[in-house]
């Protein structure tokens, strides 16, 4: 079973993106183990903190290094991606020369009540992800419009078409991890 470090870009208790992540987790079944990283515990990135790194930062780096892949599940905020995702990406890519994300296969998804889902935010994020050394899965893209009742209390997708689409996404992500996992890339993120 492959381990996936999961970065959910919302701290809200009833986050629809956390619900989506739990649904993807359920669709993956025994093929993937989702390791949910607590992004709210991370301090804002500060290069001076490397003199005595916070334990939560060291934990993030260790979990990123041992993960076989990364999954970002994010809302869209003002047509962009959440700062908490960028903060986590920055912490684990540093200090210079010690990039914990290097070579990791990555899947990106998200949901929003808006008609275009999280398309604009994901588009901005996709421009930066290769700079961290990720091997980014391009297709299929998940810009899901969230509607009440789409995900039930057991994290099941209630709409057959959406469930089929997301099951295909998970299948492709599993295949992406198998095809691109354990690649050796430079351990330096872009300056």
Whether the per-residue pLDDT at 188 is higher than 80: the answer is: no
Ramachandran bin of 150, using left for φ above 0, alpha for ψ from -120 to 50, beta for the remaining angles: alpha
For residue range 113-161, list pLDDT tens digits in order: 888 888 889 899 999 999 999 999 999 999 998 999 999 999 999 999 9
Question: Under a CB-based contact definition with an 8 Å cutoff, are residues 35 and 63 in contact?
Answer: yes
User: Which are the contacts of 105, defined by CB distance < 8 A and separation ≥ 6?
Assistant: 68, 69, 70, 134, 135, 137, 176, 177, 179, 180, 181
With a pLDDT cut of 70, the percent of the chain lying above it is: 95
Average of per-residue pLDDT across 86-105? 96
pLDDT of residue 117: 83
Domain ranges of the chain: 2-180
Superfamily (CATH H level) for 2-180 = Flavodoxin domain (3.40.50.360)
Element (H, E) at 170: helix 160-180
């Amino acid at each position: 079973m492959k381990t996936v470090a999961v970065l959910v870009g919302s701290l809200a208790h009833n986050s629809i993106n956390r619900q989506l992540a739990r649904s993807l987790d359920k669709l993956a079944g025994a093929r993937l183990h989702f390791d949910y990283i607590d992004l709210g515990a991370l301090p804002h990135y500060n290069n001076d903190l490397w003199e005595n790194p916070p334990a939560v930062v060291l934990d993030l780096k260790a979990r990123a290094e041992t993960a076989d892949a990364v999954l970002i599940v994010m809302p869209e905020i003002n047509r962009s991606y959440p700062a908490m995702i960028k903060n986590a990406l920055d912490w684990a890519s540093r200090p210079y020369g010690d990039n914990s994300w290097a070579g990791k296969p990555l899947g990106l998804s998200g949901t929003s009540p808006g008609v275009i889902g999280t398309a604009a935010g994901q588009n901005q994020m996709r421009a930066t992800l290769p700079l961290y050394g990720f091997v980014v899965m391009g297709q299929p893209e998940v810009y899901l419009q969230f509607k009440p009742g789409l995900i039930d209390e057991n994290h099941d997708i209630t709409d057959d078409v959406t469930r089929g689409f997301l099951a295909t996404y998970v299948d492709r992500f599993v295949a992406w991890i198998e095809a691109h996992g354990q690649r050796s890339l430079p351990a330096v993120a872009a300056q």
